[in-house]
A and B are shown apart, each in its own frame.
Chain A
Amino acid sequence: MTAALQRAELPAGGGLLRFLTCGSVDDGKSTLIGRLLLDTRSILADALQALERTSRRRGLEAVDLSLLTDGLQAEREQGITIDVAYRYFSTGTRKYIIADAPGHEQYTRNMVTAASTADLAIILVDARKGVLTQTLRHSYIAHRVGIGQLVVAVNKMDLVGWSRERFEAIVAEYRAFADGLGIEDVRFLPISALAGDGVVERGPNLGWYRGPTLLELLEAAPAANAGRRQRFRFPVQWVCRPHGVAHHDFRGFAGRVESGEIAAGDAVEVLPSGRRSRVKEIWLGEARLERAVSGQSVTLVLHDHVDVSRGDLLAGAGEGPPVSRTVEAVVCWLSERALSTARRYVVRHTTRETLGQFVEVASRVDLVALRQVEARTLGANDIGRVRLKLAHPIAADRYAENRATGAFIVVDEATNDTVGAGMIL
């Protein structure tokens, strides 16, 4: 099949898969992404020529695929990835969004950023070095952030003589760690991002490996929410009140179905007030829908004139999450300025913003030993368990049950920076 034809076929049933690549510094994340793009023929001629020119200028013999992703001046100067880059490619069946996350410990928060929206994580391991602290740290974070599917790609197999024994030793070591954390869905595969074996093409060097290539694995990976029955959750973003004569009585609630589905006629409750009504109409632009499913942004019109505003949550009647002013959560601290129990912060949960205060830091995860240790505060890149008191109640699910209604961010009132990522327990 020619490159042109391959790209011309439009993704149909496979929809979209978001994944991130992570692992330690220099384990070849950027090269792997370059390889995926190159071998799926997603790098166009002029971009490839630019890559060749830059590689030559730097005195390299082969094209340095990692140059594709390090887009910032500071990154090229230092040869490391600082911030998340997003890349796109598409096969005959699926569109992919790759988040290329930094490996450096100092930029763990950017790894958390990339992980928060991913359905799958590829964790790279350098076959020569085996499982490193950063491998475990990233696996822990990916697991903690709720990524259901982990793929451990043992890279640089070319540098260990394509050794099956080496691969199996790494698999055994990683599995012991994953079992300890209760991570169930892990797949392993040997690859060479540099040579291309095991990524898109099978390659000539890994004859002993019978499993799928990385791309085959991605093509078969279930999309987010697939096969998971979840309850209807609809945070209201905006109230649609046209003032024109034609729509004088129209009052719609605009938002995205974060989980579950909703049909005209369904009974709903408004949280936190608890008032109930029924869905009269569902609109997407000028189209009227019978039903809306998880992921769709729509506008709902209710039968009754109940009070609903931005920040409220619509849920199935009697099926809403608990409403509370106290929250137990795991927080990843993203700021250089440590978490303070003396200060107030802005807490943003779904579309609702309220003030909050940390009443207790219960523990911190030692990201080397991967166990809870006692703590009073959290510093940059720390992950810990906290209790929060909020000025106004929120309707929240447990994060493990619902990523959209179980997550919150913490914003520093003084700087307006996003300083914490919270997951409700």
Chain B
Amino acid sequence: MSTRPAAALTHLDWLEAEAIHVLREVAGQCAQPALLFSGGKDSVCLLRLAEKAFRPARFPFPLLHVDTGHNYPEVIAFRDRRAAELGERLIVRSVEDAIGAGKVVLAHPLESRNKYQSITLLDAIAEHGFDACIGGARRDEEKARAKERVFSFRDDLGQWDPKHQRPELWSLYNARIRRGEHIRAFPISNWTELDVWQYIARERLELPSIYFAHRRPVVRRGGALVPVTPLTPARPGERVEERSVRFRTVGDITCTAPVESAAATLEEIVAETAAATQTERGATRLDDQTSDASMEQRKKEGYF
């Protein structure tokens, strides 16, 4: 590598260095952390950053996935393969189990299970005694997230109190907690959707195939393209079309919509993201738009 002055670090270099620093602070301060890995693009970045932070040693934490049971099979296959390739331990806890145990009662069998993830997550935290969970949330995703600290304190019920957050100064993060409480740590807080794609392109990171343009049966519903799947069948009177689409975000099938796209390479996705006229959540999430405060409310209750 050639010599260059500090000012010449590109913004991606800087974001990467900050994220590595945050990951190492979690490892240095917490006894029992876990890294949330869903197979989605943000958590794929987290895994790459963890490699840069901790290799050649193993990660000082297991990977944890809270499976809603409503994930695309390609994503689950990718998740398992990636964890195996990295040689890291993957813990999967499933919302299905919480439903089976009567801890979650669905209002409707095909209801989005996204909001029930927090129940399974908090159970997993208690079961394993995790004192920190590392997540790939970004502040650019949503207004309530824009307010959250990099090290976000959660009480013994997993709740976030936005009015009483710990002041977070310089890069001196405070992960001290009492038994039962935990920290959510967000190494890529300062990244935007475009930064994530630029980083994935720069590092040539592998992703689940559904992030790239592919043909898929969809119906148009309320401005969004809704994929037609066994969990989300077409409604009477709706016309099923096959369109070239890709997912900007992956999550619960019942509430994640693809966008129309022909972008088949990382470079094409970077260009398309840069030119996007809809926000990531606005274009693709069907469950965030209930009210201005829906995300804040869910975060207060323990959601990621």
> By the criterion CB–CB under 8 Å, are B282 and A46 in contact?
yes
> By the criterion CB–CB under 8 Å, are B174 and A85 in contact?
no
A12 CB within 8 Å of chain B: yes
Within 8 A of B (CB), among A398-422: 403-404, 407-409, 411, 416-418, 421
In the complex, what residue of chain B is closest to A416 when comparing beta carbons? B176
Question: Given A54-B292, A71-B144, is A418 in contact with B174 using a C-beta cutoff of 8 Å?
Answer: yes
Interface string of A1-43 (1 = CB under 8 A from B): 0011101111111011000000000000000000000000000
In the complex, what residue of chain B is closest to A258 when comparing beta carbons? B171
Q: How far is the CB of A74 from chain B (nearest CB, A)?
A: 6
Size of interface on B: residues with Cβ below 8 Å to A: 70
> By the criterion CB–CB under 8 Å, are A411 and B174 in contact?
yes
Q: Which of B49-57, B210-218, B235-243 contacts A (4 or more CB under 8 A)?
A: B49-57
> By the criterion CB–CB under 8 Å, are A86 and B27 in contact?
no
> By the criterion CB–CB under 8 Å, are B279 and A47 in contact?
yes
- Given the complex of chains A and B, what is the CA–CA distance between A349 and B13 in angstroms? 25
> By the criterion CB–CB under 8 Å, are A113 and B167 in contact?
yes
> By the criterion CB–CB under 8 Å, are B170 and A404 in contact?
yes
List of B residues within 8 angstroms of A70 by Cβ: 143
> By the criterion CB–CB under 8 Å, are A295 and B6 in contact?
yes
B178 CB within 8 Å of chain A: yes
> By the criterion CB–CB under 8 Å, are B56 and A247 in contact?
yes
B190 CB within 8 Å of chain A: yes
In the complex, what residue of chain A is closest to B169 when comparing beta carbons? A116
> By the criterion CB–CB under 8 Å, are A84 and B147 in contact?
yes
List of A residues within 8 angstroms of B279 by Cβ: 44, 46-47
Q: Which of A176-184, A212-220, A248-256, A315-323 contacts B (4 or more CB under 8 A)?
A: A248-256
> By the criterion CB–CB under 8 Å, are A242 and B57 in contact?
yes
> By the criterion CB–CB under 8 Å, are B190 and A97 in contact?
yes
> By the criterion CB–CB under 8 Å, are B296 and A297 in contact?
no
> By the criterion CB–CB under 8 Å, are A45 and B278 in contact?
yes
List of A residues within 8 angstroms of B27 by Cβ: 237-238
List of A residues within 8 angstroms of B293 by Cβ: 73, 76
Contacts across chains A and B counted by CB atoms under 8 Å: 216
A172 CB within 8 Å of chain B: no
Within 8 A of A (CB), among B1-59: 1, 3-11, 13-18, 20-21, 24-25, 27-28, 51-58
> By the criterion CB–CB under 8 Å, are A226 and B7 in contact?
yes
A82, A226, A250, A296: which contacts B163 (Cβ < 8 A)?
A: A82
> By the criterion CB–CB under 8 Å, are B57 and A8 in contact?
no
Within 8 A of B (CB), among A39-89: 44-47, 50, 54, 68-74, 76, 82-88
In the complex, what residue of chain B is closest to A49 when comparing beta carbons? B282
- Given the complex of chains A and B, what is the CA–CA distance between A7 and B279 in angstroms? 14
List of A residues within 8 angstroms of B56 by Cβ: 240, 242, 244, 246-247, 250
Within 8 A of B (CB), among A253-312: 254-256, 261, 284-287, 289-291, 293-297, 310
A90 CB within 8 Å of chain B: yes
Within 8 A of A (CB), among B159-180: 162-163, 165-172, 174, 176-178
In the complex, what residue of chain A is closest to B2 when comparing beta carbons? A290
**6 tightest CB-CB pairs across the interface, nearest first?**
A71-B143, A46-B282, A4-B275, A297-B20, A8-B274, A285-B52
Which residues of A line the B interface, CB within 8 A? 3-5, 7-13, 15-16, 44-47, 50, 54, 68-74, 76, 82-88, 90, 94-95, 97, 109-110, 112-113, 116-117, 222-223, 225-227, 237-238, 240-244, 246-247, 250, 254-256, 261, 284-287, 289-291, 293-297, 310, 334, 346, 348-351, 403-404, 407-409, 411, 416-418, 421
